[in-house]
Amino acid sequence: MTTLNQQVKIPKHVAIIMDGNGRWAEAKGKHRVFGHKHGVKSLRKAIAFASENNIQALTIFAFSSENWQRPEKEVNMLMELFFTVLGSELKKLQKHNIKLKIIGELTGFSERLQKKVFEAEKVTKDNTGLVLNVAANYGGRWDITQATKKLAKLVATGELDADDIDEELLSRAITLHKLPAVDLMIRTGGEHRISNFLLWQLAYSELYFTDVLWPDFDALTFQSALDMFSGKERRFGQTSEQVSLTKSESN
């Protein structure tokens, strides 16, 4: 918890690996899909919390490049759920001024789902509140690869000199580059790994792991992650003394 003279820091950009749906359902003797459906409720809570707490961007991991390897039945149900939720939540996103963006290899989805995604993005594109990025058929390695491909094409056409490629230029070709850096990454479900989520973007994020399974996620869990974040000194390679000095100079 923060004390009175300590300033509360709110992350500008939060990313979440929503994990544990399957185990949550299985513990109740239900099919894994029951957990995914229940997970949608947690997602609504997370979005509302982010909006209410003036978090600028929320990026959620909905389906990884590797999740195609799951049983066909589960994959099909997840696609169907994605389609249904895009339709049913659109009005709410509009009402709350939320801008939706899907990141990932969209061509991997059915034409019908791709169309739904483009529609939802189009309807919400001018909204000025929370930016909600849904990572679907997304992999951190895919992201870096697609960025590399973009730059390689520019080099091939002579628009870019290979020697001019630096971190800044590569960053600009990677997803989420227009948003503030991901300050905080939350993973539910007890695993302490990245599972090929935002590999580039998480370079300096604070990481919060919780055993809470995604369908049990609520404002309290989100708040615990924010409390952890608020208490962290972010040094970005500097010493603690340097950080304190910069802070007192800017006050």
Q: Which residues are catalytic?
A: 19, 67
Give me the least distance between CB of 24 and Mg ion, in Å please.
10
Please, which residues bridge with residue 133 across strands? 59, 101
The Cα angle at residue 249 between residues 246 and 251, in degrees rounded to 5: 110
What x/- string results for residues 210 through 239 when contact with ligand IPE is judged by CB under 6 A?
----x-------------------------
Q: Which amino acid is located at 193 in the chain?
A: R
140 binds, among ligand IPE, Mg ion, none (CB under 5 to 8 A by kind): none
CB atoms within 10 A of CB 21: 24
Task: Number of residues interacting with ligand IPE: please give it, by CB under 6 A.
Answer: 18
Restricting to residues 144-203, which ones interact with ligand IPE according to CB under 6 A? 189, 191, 193, 195
Restricting to residues 4-33, which ones interact with ligand IPE according to CB under 6 A? 17-23
Give me the least distance between CB of 63 and ligand IPE, in Å please.
5
Q: 98-121: buried (b, 16+ CB within 10 Å) or exposed (e) per residue?
A: bbbbbbbeeeebeeebeebbeebe
Binder among 51, 53, 56, 67 for ligand IPE (CB under 6 A): 67
Restricting to residues 15-74, which ones interact with Mg ion according to CB under 5 A? 19
Residues in the chain, overall count: 251
CA atoms of 154 and 176, how far apart (whole Å): 20
Q: Pull the structure tokens for residue 68.
A: 């195609």
Instruction: Select the residue whose beta carbon is closest to ligand IPE and give its number.
Output: 22
Please, which residues bridge with residue 63 across strands? 136
Provide the binding-site residues for ligand IPE, judged by CB under 6 A.
17-23, 61-64, 67, 78, 189, 191, 193, 195, 214
